[in-house]
Amino acid sequence: MSLFVPKIYVKDIYSIDYKKLINDGYKLIIFDLDNTIGNIKEKICDKKTTNFLNNLNKDIKIIVASNSRKKRVEEFCQKIECDKYHFSLKPTSKILLKIKSKYNIDYDKIVIVGDQLLTDMFLGNRKGLLTILVDQKDVKDLKITQFNRKIENIIKKKYKLKKGEYYR
């Protein structure tokens, strides 16, 4: 299977079976920011998502890793009580090396949740993480992402990844 194709594909972060992830021994979940936990027009994470993530963080360690700049990540995540990483350079391994040195968790115990095949899924699959794709929260993308989406759509077509046809 292609390194761009997620192991699990669900509608959104609320559709993930976190109990199963914990039972299966996963120790850390990396959440992408833009179009995964928030949309690009939102300056600050909404209450529902903030509460959800803060509660989840009591059961399993979570972090937010975004390719966006520092101001965006800090402002958006200000009420989310977890470590946040800006300018993560996904799909390079930069963020994973940071996690490895900080938490010393093996890659096969880490989950990555994101909306992009070319960054989130490719990084996770290449390094042996559990990859979970979610639908992008909003149709609006950052400029830099718009080009990636074109390639993504070709891959999605080839591997029959269709919105609404989720799998676990």
Pick the piece of the chain touching Mg ion (CB under 5 A) from 17-25, 35-43, 98-106, 160-168. 35-43
Residue nearer to Mg ion on the CB measure, 34 or 152: 34
- At residue 73's C-alpha, the angle toward residues 52 and 101, to 5°, is 85
Structure token digits, residue 155: 């891959």
Q: Whose structure tokens read 């989840």?
A: 56
Q: Are 126 and 94 in contact (CB under 8 A)?
A: no
Residue 112 is given by DSSP the state: E
Q: Is 141 near Mg ion (CB under 5 A)?
A: no
Backbone angles phi, psi at 134, to 5 degrees: -120, 155
Q: In the complex with Mg ion, which residue's Cβ is closer, 28 or 91?
A: 91
Nearer to Mg ion, 99 or 123 (CB): 123
Q: Does 125 bind Mg ion (CB under 5 A)?
A: no
Q: State the Cα–Cα distance between residues 10 and 129, nearest whole angstrom.
A: 17
Q: Does 115 bind Mg ion (CB under 5 A)?
A: yes
Report residue 20 CA to chain centroid gap: 18
User: Which residue in 6, 13, 35, 72 binds Mg ion (CB under 5 A)?
Assistant: 35
**Closer residue to Mg ion, CB minimum distance, 22 or 42:** 42
Point out which span in 2-10, 85-93, 99-107, 110-118 binds Mg ion (CB under 5 A): 110-118
Contacts to Mg ion by CB under 5 A: 32, 34-36, 115
